[in-house]
Amino acid sequence: MFIIESYSTAVLFCFITMLCWGSWANTQKLAAGNWRFELFYWDYVSGIVLFTLLFALTVGSMGENGRAFIADLQQGSFENLRSAFIGGVIFNAANILLSAAIAIAGMSVAFPVGIGLALAIGVIINYLDAPVGNPVILFSGVACIAVAIGLNAFAYQKQSAGKAKTSFTGLALSIISGSMMGLFYTYVANSMTTDFTNPEVLKLTPYTALFIFSVGIFISNFIFNSLLMRFPISGDSVSFSAYLNGNFRNHLVGILGGCIWCLGMSFSILASEKAGPAISYGLGQGATVVAAIWGIYVWKEFKNAPPAIVRILKAMLGLYVLGLAIIIFSR
């Protein structure tokens, strides 16, 4: 199976993760209109499952190093399979709420608040599990990002003056999503071997862990998304027949969104051996900067904002970039 050999390559993979995680939500924007995000999300999840299976059967099963996907799946212990599965369930609950926040508040708000909070929580938890990197430098980077989160929330509150209900709902969903999103990665990391070249017995290779993780997402989606369709956060309830009536473009865009996100997740997991889970996860969650740039400059989510709010947004982006640079330097 393919294995990353150096820290510099791991950092490069983390930057690709950042681009993927910060860009997948554009597919939700492209599918918006009459196509509700609850319907989009079924195809998004399907894209994740299809990608992980294809990735495991190809890149995860070739070469001399590691352990091929099928053999690894057969030898994995129940505890490790369960851990990766739980990671998928937690991620799915968090990501559905994030998708709802994007639909209500936009990418330039939901990502900096939700994913920024997930970054701070995730880095702390993953560092406690696998303390790789200088903690003072690492958490200084996290502190910069925490300040950036606060600036973004403040800018959104100012921009949404007079729309108190929407403002509160968008921020609340982002905060709840971020709190949950910071927990899923450690479950996946704990299910995996720490040596990808010579995998430990009963532990999973990253490719198998990713597939089981996606299965957790897929199965839990029948509960979480079905409930959300029946009791939506905003708008009327939506039926499964509406999903079946969707056109080819809508379904394809959703699957593409899942594949883009999962490419980022796969690269993050592969990078975690050389970079450490805390740094790998933290750099990937720099996706917030990418998503904020998409939201602000492409989708014009802060169009006609006063100059004071524009300055706050620029400061937010600057602090995010500084925080990411510090996180890289921590190792």
Q: Residue 8 belongs to what H/E stretch?
A: helix 7-23
Range of the domain at 223: 8-329
Within 10 angstroms of residue 154's Cβ, the number of other Cβ atoms is: 13
Cα–Cα distance measured from residue 6 to residue 8, given in angstroms and rounded to the nearest whole number:
5
Task: Give the model's pLDDT for residue 100.
Answer: 82
> Would you state the structure tokens that stand for residue 159, as one six-digit string?
């921009």
Q: How many domains does one find in the chain? A: 1
CA dist 159 to 154, 174, 298, Å?
9, 17, 18
pLDDT (tens digit per residue) in 154-206: 787 677 665 555 567 877 888 899 888 889 999 999 999 999 999 999 999 99
CA dist 59 to 56, 62, 67, 175, Å?
6, 6, 11, 36
Q: Phi and psi of 283, rounded to 5°? A: -65, -40
Q: Which residue's structure tokens are 């996100």? A: 261
Cα–Cα distance measured from residue 51 to residue 44, given in angstroms and rounded to the nearest whole number:
11
Note whether residue 164 is domain-resident.
yes
Q: Report the sign of the C-alpha dihedral through residues 55, 57, 61, 66, in that order.
A: positive
Query: Could you tell me which residues are beta bridge partners of residue 204?
Result: 192
Calculate ∠ Cα 325-24-263, nearest 5°.
75
Task: Give the model's pLDDT for residue 107.
Answer: 67
Note whether residue 253 is domain-resident.
yes
Mean pLDDT score, 258-275: 94
Note whether residue 1 is domain-resident.
no
Q: Which residue's structure tokens are 């560092």? A: 127
pLDDT (tens digit per residue) in 24-64: 888 988 887 779 889 999 999 999 999 999 999 999 999 88
Residue 76 in this model has a pLDDT that exceeds 90: yes
Average per-residue pLDDT for the chain: 88
Cα–Cα distance measured from residue 155 to residue 148, given in angstroms and rounded to the nearest whole number:
11
> Would you state the structure tokens that stand for residue 35, as one six-digit string?
């196509």
Note whether residue 2 is domain-resident.
no
pTM comes to: 0.85
How does DSSP classify residue 205?
Answer: P
Note whether residue 202 is domain-resident.
yes
Note whether residue 63 is domain-resident.
yes
Give whichever of 152-161, 206-215, 301-310 has the largest mean pLDDT: 206-215
Task: Give the model's pLDDT for residue 166.
Answer: 55
Note whether residue 268 is domain-resident.
yes
The length of the chain in residues reads 331
Q: What share of the chain is helix, strand, coil (3-state, %, to 5)?
A: 80, 0, 20
Burial label, 161 (beta-carbon count in 10 A; 0-12, 13-18, 19+): exposed
- CA nearest to 41, candidates 92, 76, 80: 92
Task: Give the model's pLDDT for residue 106.
Answer: 75
Note whether residue 15 is domain-resident.
yes
Mean pLDDT score, 54-78: 94
